[in-house]
Amino acid sequence: MGVRLILKNSVLTAVLSGEIDHHSAREIRTEIDSTAAKVKPETLILDFSAVRFMDSSGIGLIMGRCKLMQAWNGLVEIHNLPPNVERIVSLAGLESLCTIKRGTVDESAE
């Protein structure tokens, strides 16, 4: 449960897993931000493929990371939303803040 970070060619990928709620979001946020602030990546990818549950705390998490990345004109992409997570994300209308990639994206591919 939590987050695994992969840095490659100025793209920081955060592979999220488990359940994202107000409790777990705090730890995930700290992990991502401490690395992102150091490397200032051009793009931050949030990969939700292994997320089993997410409530609106996850929306706050996404919005917060978008704000952080704006500090150096970086972009945020959201990948691999499971259907139940997608429902919450569409409710929030995040399209103006970040790019939501539909369909499966293999993070290990070049």
Nearer Cβ to other proteins, position 92 or 105? Answer: 92
- CA 108 vs CA 6, 15, 33, 47, 50: distances in Å: 10, 11, 22, 12, 15
Nearer Cβ to other proteins, position 46 or 88? Answer: 88
Interface contacts to other proteins, rule CB under 8 A: 19, 21-23, 25-26, 29, 53, 55-57, 59-61, 63-64, 84, 88, 91-92
Nearer Cβ to other proteins, position 38 or 87? Answer: 87
